[in-house]
Amino acid sequence: MSPFFKRSKKEAGIEPGLPTIKEQSFTKETPAKTLAQPEIAPHYPSEQQPHQPEQTSPEQEKPQTELPHPGVSSAKPAPVPTAKAPVSAPAVKSKARTDIEEILANGLTEIYQTMTLPEQQEFRARGEEASSKIELMLEQFKATARKVLDVIRMWLASIPRVNKHFLEQESKLKTDEIMKLQKRLKKERHLANLRKK
């Protein structure tokens, strides 16, 4: 062994009155005991609050004459504000976006109605994400059949219990329609540019 491990506390530079790690007892003191602050129960909305009969202890029945900290009242804790989802104004969708959403939704209403509510919400969210990706590709004229097919296939794969052949057939049909839409948009933009000149 090296001489480092055989040194005494004084030689190692440890003050004689302090305990070493081996000598310390690791007990955890709660902050409520050390700081003597009153515990405040969390505030639950009325729907989520558990029904428990209130139990009073002899300490709670005694009126408090002194406040533990200045500025803190012991009458009632302030209600905790509940977080609300920010309300966003409905986004105005472009003509291309509505056309894309129509193409994607075509022929899927029966399947959509058979889904449960959480499945419908997830499918709708993924559909909006897919339509925004496709719209971005169309605006930049970077939409290739392969990229559009991949986006549509990933979206349709989120349908629970989907048939593999149905997925392939629908994704190819929808891709063809999107590519026709891209050609039409290119033609419209070209004509609009010619009119400006």
Provide the pLDDT for residue 100: 92
Q: Whose structure tokens read 């969210």?
A: 125
Written as one string, the DSSP assignment of the chain is: --TTTT--HHHHT--TTS--TTT----PPPHHHHH-PPP-PPP--TTT---------HHHHSPP-S-SSTT--SS-PPPPPPP-PPPPPPPPPPHHHHHHHHHHHTT-HHHHHHS-HHHHHHHHHHHHHHHHHHHHHHHTT---HHHHHHHHHHHHTTSTT--HHHHHHHHHHHHHHHHHHHHHHHHHHHHHHHHH-
Provide the pLDDT for residue 89: 46
Tokens of residue 50, six digits? 């558990």
Higher pLDDT residue, 116 or 85? 116
Question: Do 42 and 80 form a contact (C-beta atoms < 8 A)?
Answer: yes
Q: Over the chain, what is the mean pLDDT?
A: 74
pLDDT higher than threshold 80 for residue 176: yes
Provide the pLDDT for residue 162: 86
pLDDT higher than threshold 90 for residue 82: no
What would the mean pLDDT of 146-172 be, rounded to a whole number?
92
Instruction: Determine the Cα–Cα distance for residues 102 and 130; give it in Å rounded to an integer.
Output: 13
**Residue 81: pLDDT band with limits 50, 70, 90:** low
Cα separations in angstroms, 97 against 56, 105, 138, 157, 181: 62, 12, 10, 21, 11
What would the mean pLDDT of 107-134 be, rounded to a whole number?
93
Instruction: Determine the Cα–Cα distance for residues 125 and 121; give it in Å rounded to an integer.
Output: 6
